[in-house]
Amino acid sequence: MSTMTSNRSIISEFVAVQAERKLKEVAQALCLELKPQDMEDMARKNLTLEQLLHQTGHKIPKVSLLNKPGVDHLAHLSDEKILALLEQVVPDHVAVLRRHPVFSRSVTRDLKAFAKG
């Protein structure tokens, strides 16, 4: 492997780790105000992530060009990988998502769409 390829690989890995860390931070911040029971109610009502954010008073953050590589990484993760990352920081909320697969798919789809801007 050439040094150029190796450097790209290291940079890509760094970007991925940073993006995943940011996703976890955002999830923790959202879930401070959103209890698992609230999320359970929202799942039963088939609310979207945008509606969920609105109810908690959060806005969808704008994506800057500087964040684009990390955003691209998150957008290409499988739903299961996103849930596994979130489970590390908000396990009770992820348990709700796992009980409501349609809601879970909606949330992960919206997360990816919001990430892309």
pTM metric for this prediction? 0.80
How many Å apart are CA 115 and CA 67, to the nearest integer? 10
Residues 1-30: tens digit of each pLDDT:
455 556 678 888 898 888 888 888 878 877
The DSSP output letter for 57 is: T
Give residue 81's domain range: 3-116
Quote the percentage of the chain above a pLDDT of 70.
80
Q: What is the DSSP string of 62-85?
A: PPPGGGHHHHHHHHTS-HHHHHHH
Number of domains comprising the chain: 1
According to the model, what pLDDT value does residue 115 have?
65
DSSP 61: P
Higher pLDDT, residue 54 or 116: 54
d(CA 82, CA 104): 10
Q: Is the pLDDT of residue 47 over 60?
A: yes
Mean pLDDT of the 21-42 span: 84
Looking at per-residue confidence, does 38 or 94 come out higher?
A: 94
Extended beta strands in 1-74, E state:
none
pLDDT value of residue 65: 46
pLDDT tens for residues 77-93? 999 999 999 999 999 99
Longest Cα separation, the chain: 53
